[in-house]
Homo-oligomer: A and B are copies of this chain.
Amino acid sequence: MEQYKDLNYNLPSGFDIELIPSEKRLESYLLDVIRTVFERYGFTPVETPAVERLEILQAKGNQGDNIIYGINPIVSSSEDDESKKEKNSRALKFDQTVPLAAYIARHLNDLVFPFARYQMDMVFRGERAKKGRYRQFRQCDIDVVGRQKLNILYDAQMPAIIAEIFSTINIGEFMIRINNKKILAGIFESIGVNKEEEIKLYIQIIDTLDKVGKAKVKQNLQAQGLSDSQSLQIIDFIEFKGSVTEILDFLQQKATEINNSDTFHKGVAELQSVINGIKELKVPTDKYCIDLSIARGLNYYTGTVYETTLINHESIGSICSGGRYENLVGIFAGEKMPGVGISIGLTRLLRKLLDNNLIDKMSATPAQVMVLNLQQELIGTYLEVSKKMRDGGINVLTEFDDIKLGKQLKKANKLGIPICLIIGAEEYKTKSCKMKILKTGEQLDVSIDNLVDEVNQKLLEI
């Protein structure tokens, strides 16, 4: 025992994502909600291994080599000769998108397109340590991927899915902000910026608006070559506020003025279709808006883009983001495969929700009932009653140890178990038990025969 006492058993920096039971139960609940909504829309589960060939991860990273962890056996004699050739050739995935592209290529003939999948695994990023930034975290992603083409209505489904998830988990008011990158690219084209690389650069500057503010964005746009009036024009445009209808009207008006950018016209038409679909899917109107400043810095987005913010807690940042891309997941299959997807960074989101008290806590155990131990001779009865309740769908802890009743109740309280069942010699004789509700102290006599129904009824009430 002694020999290990001096070891540092803390988690390595950035990997301290471990949750205590009550928090982990909350994560399980969130995962259940997210998965249920994903499946309602016909998304099917996929899980790719943590490890891929390094060259695959490097093929089209949205981050680059500097965040990739390689894996190697710590002892070079392990594995086998074949595998020794694999030295420095394997690494941990840093997102779910590159693995999705590889998965599609690996299983092309087994998949039906458009392919709608969800994935909720862990990813690994060797980034600089920073509070709230993790080196391993869970991302809950969905993507729909088409061959050659993909209907714009898939873009309209995404906000319906986001709204359903965040309404269900009850974390307060939120807003899904929708835009289209063709509109942003088009507005730059309309003022005479035509090189794709320049437009990408400008859009990345716009993407910082929330963080650095208007003045700094204007300054940066000018530093890259825009005139004072051009940069003002851009900022006025992306800052235009209004209802969905007002912004669509504004964009239609702009479109009549702009005759030097097809991209702009395409973007407005796409956004219009997306909004139409959202309305037909009956997404509540207070849950989404058009925000012309949403840019999603990532270059691979080519059309619709989304961000989601918690109202009054905007500093948390976007809790669910994504968009449409053209050339991302077909790269290994060697085909054009446009897709649209969203991502919830669950590890970070849960931490933020907990730290800001934005979500209800859960108990430290799934047990709903604890069967107390009053007399060691009645242990057979305790086991039978426990079994009976489990068969009735109730989660049960049985106390096996002969400890004081007060201590047993204290334990049930600490675990957050709502109901305790007390069976002593008297109750044993009458085939009954005392059902104690810990929160209220209420105590009821119940016949063992009716126990499952009575407990299920009580659980609904409390």
Chain A interface residues (CB < 8 Å from chain B):
1-2, 4-5, 7-21, 24-25, 27-28, 39-56, 59-60, 65-75, 77-80, 82-83, 86, 88-92, 102-103, 105-107, 110-112, 116-117, 122, 124, 126-129, 135-136, 151, 153-154, 160, 277, 280-282, 327, 330-332, 334-336, 364-367, 370, 379-380, 383-384, 386-387, 390, 394-398, 400-401, 411, 414-415
Pairwise interchain contact B1-A24, C-beta atoms closer than 8 A: no
Among B7, B39, B102, contact of A9 (Cβ-Cβ < 8 Å): B102
Knowing A47-B18, A68-B75, the reply to whether A411 touches B112 (Cβ < 8 A) is yes
Among B1, B66, B282, contact of A334 (Cβ-Cβ < 8 Å): B1
Pairwise interchain contact A400-B154, C-beta atoms closer than 8 A: yes
Pairwise interchain contact B11-A395, C-beta atoms closer than 8 A: no
Pairwise interchain contact B71-A45, C-beta atoms closer than 8 A: no
Pairwise interchain contact B65-A365, C-beta atoms closer than 8 A: no
State the number of copies, please: 2
Knowing A71-B92, A122-B50, A282-B384, the reply to whether A43 touches B110 (Cβ < 8 A) is no
Pairwise interchain contact B129-A83, C-beta atoms closer than 8 A: yes
Pairwise interchain contact B18-A49, C-beta atoms closer than 8 A: yes
Pairwise interchain contact A78-B59, C-beta atoms closer than 8 A: no
A91 to B, closest residue via Cβ: B74
Pairwise interchain contact A73-B9, C-beta atoms closer than 8 A: no
Pairwise interchain contact A106-B387, C-beta atoms closer than 8 A: no
Additional 17 contacts, C-beta under 8 A, given A21-B117, A68-B74, A116-B397:
A4-B334, A5-B334, A15-B49, A17-B49, A20-B110, A66-B73, A68-B73, A69-B72, A70-B72, A79-B126, A79-B128, A112-B411, A112-B414, A112-B415, A151-B401, A280-B383, A281-B386
Knowing A42-B367, A73-B70, A79-B127, the reply to whether A47 touches B19 (Cβ < 8 A) is yes
Among B21, B129, B153, B411, contact of A379 (Cβ-Cβ < 8 Å): B153
Pairwise interchain contact A24-B49, C-beta atoms closer than 8 A: no
Q: How many Å lie between the Cα of A28 and that of B73 in the bound state?
A: 30
Please name all residues of chain B whose beta carbon is closer than 8 Å to the beta carbon of A21 when the two chains form the complex: 44-46, 110-111, 117
Pairwise interchain contact A71-B70, C-beta atoms closer than 8 A: yes
Pairwise interchain contact A107-B11, C-beta atoms closer than 8 A: no
